[in-house]
Amino acid sequence: MSEQYIDIETTAEIVKKILPKMGEYKVPITPQNYRVWYEYYSGTNKELTHEIDSLIREKRPFTHELNRYLYTKYFGDDHNKEILREVQSKTINVLKNFLEQVLATTSSTSHYGDKLEKYSEQLNRAQDLGEIQGILEEMIRETSNMVESTRDLQSKLKEASTQVEMLRKELAKTAEEAKRDALTGLRNRRAFDEELAKLLKSYREKGEIFSLIMVDIDHFKRFNDRFGHKVGDKVLQIVANTLNYTLKGKDFVGRYGGEEFVVLLPRTSLENACVVGEQIRENVSEKRLRVTKTGENLGTITVSVGVSQVNENDTAESVIERADRALYLAKNSGRNNVKSEKDL
């Protein structure tokens, strides 16, 4: 929650409002949802308050997907904040040591010194990894220009440029790893949210359609309960590898959470996306799970698939919700099949 101080009486009033209102909007009382609505009533997060007010005015139902989206957007990036602080610290240390050398030289470097101080201030204010990466790239360009024009500082500037370039590469690697699922190697939920936002923006600005496929492993709990979590993890990896094998080019493949996977297909109609969904289903159903040492057959892996296509009234949540509803229709229709929003 926000670290802004709220007195005990105010907190008590907030608590009195939260639970009845969550009940009114049928929001499950989980720690994550409670945190969202506490911040809403405390008024300390203006952006969150504005977004929930808009949702209430539009009479949008607070679905599971919407609740998870709100929590992830406003509170779910703690890991990336830790990465941000670490990269800030390393970068500022390089700047501090180098600034002492630069500012102690002749006045010809004063302009460059002013710029480095500006970069140091920007780094302290940076809010995300992408912003830091942009600052580092600008520093590299500025340093290269300085190397060309100032012979006296060539060796020192070259050394600093190398250090900053190493930090930039480390940052790029760390940012990429932060968007990968550790078990399957696929993109994670955060990466999916970002890609979906890009496709929505492209659709609104250029009219470029896209489709979403949600894939859920049938009877996944059975694998975990009967054979243990190692086998369950292997099932997840097999499905992830099959998705990678089936999909190519600019298609986005990610792990949505648990035994659910997501696919984003740019410039793809609902009909063609259903064809892709059927290919995924068929390719997975061909997989047989066996114990390597004994050859014991542990069963067939199958998946259920739901498909939606963006339309002019869509938000990120509504595209997901239709695909999710189609997915559950597929599961309720016997599993191991594909359903689209047309079947709803």
CA dist 306 and 321 (Å) reads 10
Summary mean pLDDT of the chain: 81
With a cut of 90, say whether residue 114 has pLDDT above it: no
Of the two residues 338 and 249, the one the predictor is more confident about is 338
Banded pLDDT at 106 (limits 50, 70, 90)? very low
Q: Where is pLDDT greater, at 90 or 208?
A: 208
Q: What is the mean pLDDT of residues 8-27?
A: 74
Query: How far is it, in rounded angstroms, from Cα 229 to Cα 232?
Result: 5
pLDDT at 172: 74
State the pLDDT at residue 6. 47
Torsion of CA 134, 135, 141, 146, to 10 degrees: 180
Q: Taking 90 as the threshold, does the pLDDT of residue 178 lie above it?
A: no
Q: How confident is the model at residue 302 (pLDDT cuts 50, 70, 90)?
A: very high
Q: How many CA atoms lie within 13 A of 94 on its CB side?
A: 24
Distance CA 239, CA 259 (A): 9
Q: Look up 259 and say whether it is catalytic.
A: yes
Are the CB atoms for 269 and 333 separated by under 8 Å?
Answer: no
Instruction: Determine the distance from the C-alpha atom of residue 320 to the mean position of all C-alpha atoms in its chain, rounded to a whole number.
Output: 14
Least confident span in 36-45, 190-199, 321-330: 36-45
329: left (phi over 0), alpha (psi -120 to 50) or beta: alpha
Q: Indicate if the pLDDT at residue 80 is higher than 60.
A: no
Rounded CA-CA distance 157/112 in Å is 11
**Domains of the chain listed by start with CATH number:** 8-76 (no CATH), 80-177 (no CATH), 189-343 (3.30.70.270)
Report pLDDT for 214: 98
In the chain, beta strands by DSSP E: 210-217, 252-257, 260-266, 288-290, 297-300, 303-309, 338-340
- Listed as own residue / partner, the contacts of 86-92 with beta carbons closer than 8 Å and 24 or more positions apart are 87/129, 87/132, 87/167, 87/170, 87/171, 87/174, 88/123, 88/124, 88/126, 88/132, 90/167, 90/170, 91/123, 91/132, 91/135, 91/136, 91/164, 91/167, 92/120, 92/123, 92/124
Quick one: tokens of 299?
A: 């069963």
pLDDT surpasses 80 at 272: yes
Confidence of residue 280 (pLDDT cuts 50, 70, 90): very high
**What pLDDT sits at residue 5?**
43
Q: In this model, does residue 65 exceed pLDDT 90?
A: no
Catalytic residue among 39, 142, 259, 341: 259
Say which range, 33-42, 247-256, 260-269, 311-320, has the weakest mean pLDDT: 33-42
Query: What pairs with residue 212 in β-bridges?
Result: 264, 308
pLDDT band at residue 1 using 50, 70 and 90 as cut-offs: very low
Give DSSP secondary structure letters for 163-180. Answer: HHHHHHHHHHHHHHHTTB
* Residue 140 confidence (pLDDT): 64
Mean per-residue pLDDT, 10-25: 74
**Is a pLDDT exceeding 60 seen at residue 185?**
yes
**Tokens encoding 226:** 């009967």
What does the block give as tokens for 77? 């990036």
Q: For residue 74, with 0-12 CB atoms within 10 Å meaning exposed, 13-18 middle and 19 or more buried, which class applies?
A: middle
Q: What is the pLDDT of residue 67?
A: 87
Of 109-113, 168-172, 327-331, which gets the smallest average pLDDT?
Answer: 109-113
Q: Is the pLDDT assigned to residue 59 strictly greater than 80?
A: yes
Stretch among 74-88, 220-234, 282-296 having the lowest mean pLDDT: 74-88
- What is the pLDDT, as a whole number, of residue 21? 82
